[in-house]
Amino acid sequence: MLMPMLVTVFVCGFVAIAILGHILLLSALLEESTRGGLRDVAFGPNARLSRAGLRRAMEAATGRPSRRAAFVAAVLFSTGPATLASGAAANAAEIKVLSAVVMQSALDDLARAFERGAGHKVATAYAPAGAIRDRIQGGEAFDLAVLPRPAINQLVSQNRGLRDSAAVLARSAVSVCARAGAPKPDISTVEAVKRSLLAAKSIAYSDPAKGGASGIHFAQVLDRLGIAEEIKPRTRLSGPDSAEYVARGDAELCVTQLMEILRTPGVESVGQLPAELQNTTDFVFSAAIAAAAREQAAAAAFLKYLQTPDAGRVLKQMGMEPGAT
């Protein structure tokens, strides 16, 4: 009678120790994502923990598929997420992102989704693209930069702290907005745009001197149309909030990127400028990791997430075309 009981206790104890050992092993491996990359395996492309993901991580850790990995993954998934989460939280990274302000509405949503799944924190500073470029050139520390492609290329060519492996996230277009419910001017052709701008009582756009990409581009459009001097008295130069000028009634129209229009209550998009007046290179937004990033692995994981289909759907909802080249 005693012998069977001892055998049972021994077997149960052995199994418990084995499971605990695997839990501790996998937890440690997931925490060491800076070297092993198993966190991405376990959490998957959508940054969600799953039993299948845990099994893949276990098999990657041991180097072979096994029933034991499947069993331990099941135990971990049913009883261990809190254990893994607590371990990951102790090693969570804070990713410092410097981004053009026009990306704010999309990046804020995407950062929250990434934080929920990956356990890292994303701290993002927003400013006009030119200002972010200048801060990087001035030596400010960061982990990831999100900027129009020309600014990224300039920083890379100048060897100003960026890796040369930038990833394209999305493309945007310069659009016109009016106050919600107000008559919408005709901007269907280049000549129609010229007539509508000349007829407008006031027009807001971001101050080119402050580095706003859409403002720099629109100033070039006015020069091309030959109406820059005629429009100047009715111009309302702004920061990154030109659509808010229209919402408050301080300007009749604004010219900015569609993302800003969609996130500003009280205004409506009139439409995009005609293709002949668009800039198909400067409004491609790219992201690059800092060469001296303190949290390189976490920044790489966030950058990878920004290129997933889930992130693409968010970018599209915010008025951008994801993954454009």
Choice among 90-99, 242-251, 310-319 with the minimum mean pLDDT? 90-99
pLDDT reading at 321 higher than 60: yes
Work out the angle between the directed axes of helices 67-79 and 51-62 (0-180°, nearest 10): 130
Choice among 74-78, 88-92, 142-146 with the minimum mean pLDDT? 74-78
* Integer Cα distance of 30 and 8 in angstroms: 33
Per the model's pLDDT, the better-predicted residue between 62 and 307 turns out to be 307
- Please compute the mean of the pLDDT values over residues 93-101 and round it to a whole number: 94
Q: What is the pLDDT of residue 165?
A: 72
Distances (CA, A) of 275 to 174, 190, 278, 280: 10, 9, 5, 9
Per the model's pLDDT, the better-predicted residue between 91 and 74 turns out to be 91
CATH topology of domain 94-171+283-322: D-Maltodextrin-Binding Protein; domain 2 (3.40.190)
Q: What value does the mean pLDDT of the chain take?
A: 80
The edge-to-edge listing of strands for the beta sheet with 174-179 is 235-238, 203-206, 253-257, 174-179, 267-272
Choice among 9-13, 105-109, 247-251 with the minimum mean pLDDT? 9-13
pLDDT tens by residue, 164-199: 678 999 998 999 999 999 999 999 999 999 999 999
Query: Which residues have CB under 8 Å from 67's CB, separation 6+?
Result: none
pLDDT reading at 2 higher than 60: no
pTM of the entire structure? 0.65
Q: Are 107 and 135 in contact (CB under 8 A)?
A: no
pLDDT tens by residue, 57-89: 444 444 555 554 444 444 444 544 444 445 555
DSSP 155-188: HHHTT-SB-S--EEEEE--EEEEEETTSPPPP-S
Question: Using 50, 70 and 90 to split pLDDT, how confident is the model at 36?
Answer: very low
- Please compute the mean of the pLDDT values over residues 307-323 and round it to a whole number: 91
CATH number (3.40.190.10, 3.40.50.1220, 3.40.50.2300, 1.20.1250.20) of 174-277 reads 3.40.190.10
Domain with CATH 3.40.190.10 in the chain: 94-171+283-322, 174-277
Q: Determine how many CB atoms are found less than 10 A away from the CB of residue 183.
A: 8
Query: Is residue 323 classed as helix, strand or coil in its secondary structure?
Result: coil
